[in-house]
Amino acid sequence: MKFTRKQYVRAVKVVISCAFITVLFSFVQGEKLLAMFRRIDWWYLALSFALLPVMLSASCLKWKVILGDKGSHISFIRLLRIYAVGYFFSNLLPSTVGGDVVRSYYAGRLLDNQALAAVSIFVERFTGILLLFFLVAFAPLLAPELYRSPYIQVPAAAGLVLLAITWFLLRVRDPLALPKRMLELTFALLHGFSAWTGSRLVGKGVGLLEEGCGFILHKLQRVRIELDNAVNAFRKDRIYLLRVFLLTVVFYFLTWVNVYVSFRAFGVTPDFLHVCALVPAILFAAHVPVTLLGNAGYFESVFVVYFLLVGIPMEETLAMGLLLRLKMLTMGVLGYIVYLFYTHNRKEELEGLENFTRQ
């Protein structure tokens, strides 16, 4: 039986996820973790779950604002349903079809314009990630002693670099011209070397490398086009930009509150400024897609490592992380229920999604 590349990648992610979970629980005493769950504060637990619809609504409202007049015929409730379905695909379904792709596909059908839907998703994500880069670099100023740790220094430096790259992509007319020229010269030399050696293996390796670089350049070119579309929209309407920015800030504030309240559910009272300083770096690190099902295992491990920097024991952070995981699974289950009622011909819908991801 021949396995596809996607199946190999999925298998590797399963192994990595199991490794993270095994290592994480090997460092935590089971009795201490169970003690954390025995002392749950039910009021804070209820408040923690009550934040879910608030955060979902904030994200959906931002998406609605981005769509503007072109999406005025799509109700907020309908967008909320699409967002919930996206959570199902991201957090419960071990599929290569991500939540953003699902949202783009369904919104594109309602708009009768897949390109517009894709741009709206990109703008929503881009503004969130851009603010995340800024917060990763500067949020630790709320607790400056954290800058002594490489776990803060490296993400902060990366955030600054990525902000600079974004600025460069926005300001330079053709930012990929020089990289393209350099790659052309490099591969001309490599092809010459391959011809000189007469080795088919070397030639194949050069061909694969050239194909990979071409794929990356193509993706970067698409990002540049989408960036131009987003910037043009913001330039035309400053109020539009302000609304999107404020809703992005609201979402990150709710993220801080979500982590803080989830800690309080186990009787742990972290310094809120420490939460604000650490969470951006955690989200930045947790964005790396190394495992399946919402980065299961890896996501919780990142939280544990970072909150050790401010003296919160592993079992306390792990309990909080497991609560966050439970809430993500809850959103996934709710998204599945919505999905069951939202679609009629599931086979046709899934085939459409698979075709959409190949485009």
pTM for this structure? Answer: 0.80
pLDDT band at 73 (very low <50, low <70, confident <90, very high): confident
Residue 152 covered by a domain:
yes
Residue 57 covered by a domain:
yes
What count of other Cβ atoms lies within 10 Å of the Cβ of residue 99? 22
Report pLDDT digits (tens) over 91-107.
776 554 567 888 888 88
What would the two tokens of residue 287 be?
């964005």
What would the two tokens of residue 174 be?
């053709």
3-state secondary structure of 284: helix
- Show the domain range for 70: 5-162+250-358
Distance, first Cα to last Cα, the chain: 27
Residue 207 covered by a domain:
no
Residue 208 covered by a domain:
no
Residue 235 covered by a domain:
no
pLDDT of 296 reads 66
**DSSP 8-state secondary structure symbol assigned to residue 300:** H
Percent pLDDT > 90 in the chain is 30
Number of helices (H) and strands (E) in the chain: give both, helices first: 15, 0
Instruction: Outline where DSSP puts E strands in 120-226.
Output: none
Residue 82 covered by a domain:
yes
Residue 203 covered by a domain:
no
Say how many domains are in the chain.
1
Report pLDDT digits (tens) over 325-338.
889 889 888 888 88
Residue 222 covered by a domain:
no
